[in-house]
């Protein structure tokens, strides 16, 4: 309850006062890489970003293959993918960050950025996911693992794709190409 109250204060009072009246962007947040390094998401300014909440023991886990291919196909055009592991759905991401990183590398050759495990639901929802779900064209909680948010070069949420939308789908590729 206390965390929820602090997040509410942060979003309602602190951010509007300290953002100079500008609307928040994805670039205003910080996270930690899966290796534990603090990172400002402003490092991604000027890139089109696909954000995906991932899990190692999910029926959608094979999407890592498509995500890696999508990353390789578009990375030289200013596109990147950021995976945020989450254990919120069916306890399908039980491992540590080190175990997750090893799993992704060994099984799927993941070379796109992976961040620390976080909460995408509930009272302890990470502020990044609060921002994503509040600013997506289709607002509301994440429904399952491998849901995707498309961010433009300015850090605005421009698209949201359910888990069932495969990384290699024309729908997703066209949305990415439209922002590049």
Alpha-carbon distances of 21 from 17, 18, 25, 103, rounded to whole Å: 7, 8, 12, 43
Catalytic residue (choose from 15, 58, 101, 121): 58
Give one word for 146, left, alpha or beta, with left for phi > 0 and alpha for psi -120 to 50: left
Query: Among this protein's residues, is 58 annotated catalytic?
Result: yes
Phi-psi region of 177 (alpha: psi -120 to 50; beta: other; left: phi over 0): alpha
| CA dist., res. 32 & res. 157, Å (int) | 20
Residues annotated catalytic, as ranges: 58
């Amino acid at each position: 309850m206390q965390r929820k109250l602090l997040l509410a204060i942060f979003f309602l009072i602190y951010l509007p006062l300290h953002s100079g009246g500008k609307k928040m962007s994805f670039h205003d947040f910080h996270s930690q890489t899966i290796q534990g390094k603090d990172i400002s998401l402003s490092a991604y300014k000027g890139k089109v970003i696909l954000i995906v909440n991932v899990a190692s023991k999910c029926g959608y886990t094979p999407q890592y293959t498509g995500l890696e291919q999508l990353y390789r196909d578009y990375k030289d055009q200013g596109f990147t993918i950021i995976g945020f592991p989450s254990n919120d759905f069916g306890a399908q991401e039980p491992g540590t960050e080190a175990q997750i990183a090893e799993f992704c590398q060994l099984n799927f050759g993941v070379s796109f950025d992976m961040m620390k495990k976080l909460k995408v639901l509930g009272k302890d929802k990470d502020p990044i996911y609060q921002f994503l779900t509040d600013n997506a064209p289709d607002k509301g909680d994440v429904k399952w693992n491998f849901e995707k948010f498309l961010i433009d070069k300015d850090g605005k949420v421009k698209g949201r794709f359910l888990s069932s939308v495969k990384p290699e789908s024309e729908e997703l590729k066209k949305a990415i190409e439209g922002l590049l």
